[in-house]
Structure 1
Amino acid sequence: MTDPLDQQIREWQTAEQQAADGELRMDEGIGEALRAACEAYRDRLVQLQHDALGLQTLSGYGGIPSAQILRAKFQNKAVHGDSDDSTDSAFTRLGQHIEIATLMRDTYAATIGKVGTVDQQNAAELGAKGGQL
């Protein structure tokens, strides 16, 4: 079964290419408003993903074995996924949504001819991530 988020990513990649090729255009005011909304949404998702990292070590569950099992399940669900699906975690799912929001932002920017601005923004983000490694 195909992951619906993977399908959305492919659809937005196609739309972004169409916009870059000039096949998809829109009014500049509308495109800019959509681009800005996607940027704000993306920023919020990045913050939520960062917050999810704080859930990889939980406390306050007590010492009984069932409580420890529950704590481990919640920690894994937040960051690492489970033994059946390591991608099924809040951190990973938020990452997929960030990718979609980024593609949406870039697509709307391309529809109004701001591809150079998007390229500069993406380069700055990669530079910032490189400093965090």
Structure 2
Amino acid sequence: MAKQLVAECDRLLDKLAVYENDTSRLAMLSGFGDIPSAQALQAGFARKAVDGEASIRGRIAQFRAELTRIRENFAAGGGAFAQAEADNAARLRNSAADL
């Protein structure tokens, strides 16, 4: 199960990387017009897309970082689970030999 969860995390991380790269297109806005208030509005939307932690790009980066931590926990936990299973199997073999 842990291997499947790690693989799913890898798949999601790949998708998020693509989405994060795609956010650069969001900063290239047009069609707001030439008046100063329209230009200010256009610049504001561009900033919300790519500048800072609260931007779309920033949020995707945060999701990727958190998902990476989750993936690492699944990978580490899966190894611990496999080791515990091997230890339990060895104990059972040893106890059967004592009978």
Q: TM-score, normalised by structure 1?
A: 0.55
| Paired position in structure 2 for 1:18 | none
CA distance in structure 1 between the partners assigned to 2:10 and 2:70 by the alignment = 9
Alignment deviations for residues 13-47 of structure 1 (CA, whole Å, 9 cap, x no partner): xxxxxxxxxxxxxxxxx111111111111111111
Matching of residues 35-50 of structure 1 within 5 Å: 35-50=6-21
Once superposed, which parts of structure 1, at least 4 consecutive aligned residues long, lie more than 4 Å away?
A: none
CA distance in structure 2 between the partners assigned to 1:98 and 1:113 by the alignment = 22
Aligned with 1:107 (options 59, 73, 79): 73
Matching of residues 20-39 of structure 1 within 5 Å: 30-39=1-10
CA distance in structure 1 between the partners assigned to 2:57 and 2:10 by the alignment = 19
Which ranges in structure 1 are unaligned for 5 or more consecutive residues? Answer: 1-29, 81-85, 115-133
User: If you compute each CA radius of gyration, which structure gives the higher value, 1 or 2?
Assistant: 2
Q: Give aligned-pair identity as a percent.
A: 38
CA distance in structure 2 between the partners assigned to 1:87 and 1:31 by the alignment = 31
Aligned with 1:64 (options 29, 32, 35): 35
CA distance in structure 2 between the partners assigned to 1:66 and 1:75 by the alignment = 14
| Paired position in structure 1 for 2:44 | 73
**Amino acid of the structure 1 residue aligned with 2:53:** T
Q: Give the aligned length.
A: 80
Which ranges in structure 2 are unaligned for 5 or more consecutive residues? Answer: 81-99
Alignment deviations for residues 50-94 of structure 1 (CA, whole Å, 9 cap, x no partner): 0112222222222122221211111000111xxxxx421111111
